Amino acid sequence: MHIRNLVALALLLSSAVAFGREVAGVKLPETTAAGANLPALVLNGAGVRSKFFIKVYVGALYLSARATEADAVLRNTGPLAVHMYFLHSEVTKEKLVDAWNDGFSANLGEAERARLGERIQRFNGLFQTVRRGDVIRLDYTPGTGTTVSINNEKRGMIEGEDFMQAWLRIWLGKEPADAALKRAMLGAD
């Protein structure tokens, strides 16, 4: 075998390891860092969030171990992450915050929303207008909380396992933002 062919094969194999799947033209890594001294998280599933036939973003769920049942993921107390890769030309901060609030309202009872109200407000304050190609990461670390990053710039952290379970219900709760995306994040396709 020629050296050029060996190099090409090595590059092909390394890219297969680095990227686990391609969804709507977005190459998703098979694993992502979970934080210092924590094992890497694996891609559980990913799909497209659509609204009125517009592809808004690719959502990817990363877990310590793959799971296909929403209840099992929602009971998770270990590290996890949701990454959002934006496909739409622009989503304003106001539309993002409205979407978060709609998701919280649809999946949390009144008492739970009231208990989390101050943290939901701080969470909403961490966002900005995003455009095609931007990436929002929600990374949960046990004992610390949920870190929000936009394009690898840390925007802030919201404490609490209960808060993580609340935002995770936006995708995996009984009233998910997008039922097809819920199935895809749970590895159903």
> What pLDDT score does 35 carry?
72
Domains of the chain: 22-185 (3.50.70.10)
Distance of CA 58 to the CA centre of its chain: 9
> What pLDDT score does 188 carry?
86
Residues in the chain with pLDDT values less than 70:
1-19
Three-state secondary structure string covering the chain: CCHHHHHHHHHHHHHHHHEEEEECCEEEECEECCCCCCCCEEEEEEEEEEECCEEEEEEEEEECCCCCCHHHHHCCCCCEEEEEEECCCEECHHHHHHHHHHHHHHHCCHHHHHHHHHHHHHHHCCCCCEECCCEEEEEEECCCEEEEEECCEEEEEECCHHHHHHHHHHHHCCCCCCHHHHHHHCCCC
> What pLDDT score does 87 carry?
98
What is the arrangement of strands in the sheet containing 41-51, beginning at the earlier edge strand? 31-32, 41-51, 54-63, 80-86, 135-141, 145-150, 153-158
HSE toward the beta carbon, residue 91, CA cutoff 13 A? 25
> What pLDDT score does 19 carry?
60
Residue with structure tokens 């799971």?
67
Question: pTM of the prediction?
Answer: 0.88
Residue 23's nearest CA partner among 150, 185, 166 is 185
